[in-house]
């Protein structure tokens, strides 16, 4: 049985469901939950995840979320805590296959929330995205800011809209009293085990630097982002879900230290001792169908600092070294790297 704050009142291990648990962030989260003794079930269709990411000790159901909630392994069981990370992640995937990405992000979340409401499970943490802020109206993004999107003819905004709908759905359930939820807007999250093939900038740079190939910087490279190590992020997720005062609320989570993409490329070259050159690639070449980039993206972390005393601890240079080491082992992340939390 579960209380809204996620505290267990029985002696058995906490039953936890992690959707997207074979993915980058999900696999780090699963490792930390297993480490503290939770009984973890993963649902992942491996569309971008990798079964080799899954730490020993979790029950793995290879299926979509909507498929899995009808299966006997999950049945009508109640989960004490749920982390919903399964999604078509990032603007790049949406640009490549918008219909699939939009349907995935909205349908899977709706199906999961219906299942959790029916079984009396929860609370649930919804992994949302800084993309929800859309076109920045300010330099620093705060949770209660208005959001502004471009026209529907520009595909990139559909990712933001899907994540916004997910937030509305979860908060709707919360206010109706059917499931307790917390919404977490993740900013750029990086670390060992992340792969570059879905467009994520840092693993792309590290992979290129290790191969001695050019580091391709889109635009003029002066756009800035804040990168947070996945181990800092994963440390914070259970605390957000287990702090009763956080339920029903939206939190930014990430680092608030900006770096330009050109500086990031130079840092990767320096840290890895690579002789790769850095080349600027016009957006029109990277995205022939049109793209609108955000110049700066930085979270206001006041709310999450106040709620759980969150502070990112792992420096970007360390993260770069750990990504490179994991790539050197064919993408495998060691227990020591996961445990750095
Ligand atoms: N990495 C970041 O910087 C970042 C930033 C903002 C938000 N997020 C959010 O965090 C979550 C995890 O992202 P990630 O970086 O680990 O990406 P990821 O692609 O590694 O993980 C997503 C996982 O979901 C799985 N999945 C996709 N569709 C599914 C479906 N229909 N049913 C079951 N499983 C499905 C994939 O196979 C994958 O394992 C996502 O919700 C994403 O939107 C990530």
Which is catalytic among the residues 149, 159, 168, 198?
Answer: 159
DSSP codes joined into one string, 180-218: -EEEEEE--EE-TT--STT--HHHHHHHHHHHT--EEEE
The sign of the CA dihedral 249, 186, 88, 79 is negative
In the three-class reduction of DSSP (H, G, I as helix; E, B as strand; rest coil), residue 128 is classed as strand
**Mean predicted confidence (pLDDT) in 258-265:** 97
Q: How far is the CA of 24 from the centre of ligand 1 (A)?
A: 7
Q: Which domains occur in the chain, in start order?
A: 15-190+227-255+297-313 (3.40.50.720)
Task: Tell me the pLDDT tens digit for each residue of 287-321.
Answer: 666 667 788 899 999 999 999 999 999 999 999 99
Inform me whether the pLDDT recorded for 226 exceeds 70: yes
Task: Tell me the pLDDT tens digit for each residue of 83-112.
Answer: 999 999 877 778 888 999 999 999 999 999
> Would you say the CB of residue 86 lies under 6 angstroms from ligand 1?
yes
Residue 75: predicted pLDDT? 67
Inform me whether the pLDDT recorded for 338 exceeds 80: no
**Mean predicted confidence (pLDDT) in 56-81:** 88
Residue 5: predicted pLDDT? 33
**Mean predicted confidence (pLDDT) in 134-155:** 91
Residue 197: predicted pLDDT? 74
Nearest of 175, 336, 138 to residue 250 by alpha carbon: 175
> Would you say the CB of residue 202 lies under 6 angstroms from ligand 1?
no
Cis peptide, bond prior to residue 30, ω within 30 of zero: no
Inform me whether the pLDDT recorded for 44 exceeds 60: yes
Residue 196 tokens read as: 């570059």
Residue 139: predicted pLDDT? 84
């Amino acid at each position: 049985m579960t209380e809204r704050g996620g505290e267990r009142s029985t002696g058995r291990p906490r039953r936890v469901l992690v959707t997207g648990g074979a993915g980058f962030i999900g696999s780090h989260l699963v490792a930390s939950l297993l480490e503290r003794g939770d009984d973890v079930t993963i649902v992942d269709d491996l569309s971008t995840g990798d079964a080799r990411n899954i730490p020993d000790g979790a029950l793995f159901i290879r299926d979509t979320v909507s498929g899995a909630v009808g299966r006997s392994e999950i049945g009508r069981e109640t989960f004490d805590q749920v982390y919903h990370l399964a999604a078509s992640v990032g603007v790049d995937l949406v640009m490549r296959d918008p219909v699939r990405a939009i349907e995935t992000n909205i349908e899977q979340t709706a199906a999961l929330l219906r299942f959790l409401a029916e079984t009396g499970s929860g609370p649930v943490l919804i992994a949302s995205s800084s993309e929800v802020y859309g076109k920045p109206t300010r330099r620093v993004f705060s949770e209660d800011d208005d959001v502004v999107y471009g026209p529907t003819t520009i595909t990139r905004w559909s990712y933001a809209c899907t994540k916004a709908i997910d937030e509305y759905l979860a908060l709707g359930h919360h206010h109706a009293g059917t499931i307790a939820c917390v919404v977490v807007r993740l900013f750029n999250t990086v670390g060992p085990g992340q792969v570059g093939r879905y467009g994520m900038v840092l693993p792309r740079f590290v992979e290129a630097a290790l191969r001695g190939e050019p580091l391709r910087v889109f635009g003029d490279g002066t756009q800035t982002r804040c990168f947070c190590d996945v181990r800092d992020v994963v440390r914070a997720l259970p605390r957000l879900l287990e702090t009763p005062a956080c339920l029903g609320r939206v939190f930014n989570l990430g680092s608030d230290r900006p770096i330009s993409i050109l500086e990031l490329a130079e840092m990767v070259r320096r840290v890895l001792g690579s002789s790769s050159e850095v080349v600027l690639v016009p957006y029109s070449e990277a995205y022939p169908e049109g793209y609108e980039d955000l110049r700066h993206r930085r979270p206001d972390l006041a709310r999450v600092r106040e709620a759980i005393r969150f502070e990112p601890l792992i420096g970007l240079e360390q993260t770069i070294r750990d990504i490179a080491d994991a790539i050197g082992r064919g993408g495998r992340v060691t227990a020591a790297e996961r445990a750095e939390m």
